Amino acid sequence: MKKAESIKYYVTYSITHPEYTPTTATGLVEARTRLDLDGRLARGIGMWKKRGYGVEIVKVTCMDDFQWAAQD
């Protein structure tokens, strides 16, 4: 059985910390399935929270959708 190809997602986060100005950041995440994406996002958020940051996912955009819209 062939492994599924990774899909690339742009993820926009809202990041807060008591000592710093709140900010919004965008990162690229690759995942093979929606479950894989959820797991990767949960691990990333967990790492930030251990450092004292508050993280909220604002938007998730599939790169395929983004590229398709850019061609229109």
pLDDT at 67: 57
Residue 72 located in a structural domain: no
Percentage of the residues of the chain whose pLDDT score is greater than 90: 74
pLDDT of residue 24 exceeding 90: yes
Residue 37 pLDDT class (50, 70, 90 cuts):
very high
Q: How far apart are CA 5 and CA 37, in angstroms?
A: 13
Residue 34 located in a structural domain: yes
pLDDT at 70: 54
pTM: 0.75
Q: How far apart are CA 37 and CA 39, in angstroms?
A: 5
Residue 44 located in a structural domain: yes
Q: Which domain holds residue 21?
A: 7-67
Residue 1 located in a structural domain: no
